[in-house]
Amino acid sequence: MKDTLRHQGLRNRLVNTLIKKGIQDKNVLEAIKRIPRHLFMDSSFVDFAYQDKAFPIAADQTISQPYTVAFQTELLLLKPNAKILEIGTGSGYQTAVLLEMKAKVFSIERQKELFKKTKSFLPKLGYKPKALIFGDGYIGLEEQAPYDGIIVTAGAPFVPKPLLSQLKIGGRLVIPVGDESQIMTLFIRKSEKEFEKHEFGDFRFVPMLKEKN
């Protein structure tokens, strides 16, 4: 598992691209600058790892475009030690970004093959989430609630109510909502029953599937 000066140079270039696209949170940019994204990818795509594109990984899933990762993470307004629930561990790249930003991460993946692979891979890079769970993201993780933030990394056809109910007051849910394409949506919990909603344009994600696979 090599991370060379060349890779670091490519990451610096990627960060400059993200700045040009409007990412401003210095902590998000620093996290992306530090993480060896090429190690999270299939070897046949390693040469493209620092392009601002999504690429296939195992189990018909993708590693999200870096801009999308940065955009979603920025919306969380992360503070150190924030308690975050991630729906869709995938390759673990988004998980690593959250951990680099000193969040306490609980992450759910419903693809068994991907879950096993990422669970054994993340610790090799020194990334240790609080919990990595094989389960259904639609129901969240009630036993660890409430959360400062919840991030969903797959396209949800609707907003699962359990995710809203597992937010702290003041907590933020970042979720791409829609079928063919998704609108990036932010919910901020204002009180027990009141949520503020913001929408941020079109994105494309693999679908958030309900049953465990």
Q: Indicate which residues carry an active-site annotation.
A: 64
**Do residues 95 and 127 touch, judged by C-beta distance below 8 A?**
yes
Return phi, psi of residue 57, to 5°: -125, -160
CB 41 within 8 A of CB 53: no
User: How would you classify the pairing of strands 62-63 and 55-56?
Assistant: antiparallel
Cis amide linkage into residue 146, ω under 30° from 0: yes
Angle at 10 between CA 6 and CA 14, to 5 degrees: 170
Residue ranges of alpha helices (H) inside 21-65 are: 26-34
Inter-residue contact 53 to 14 (CB < 8 Å): no
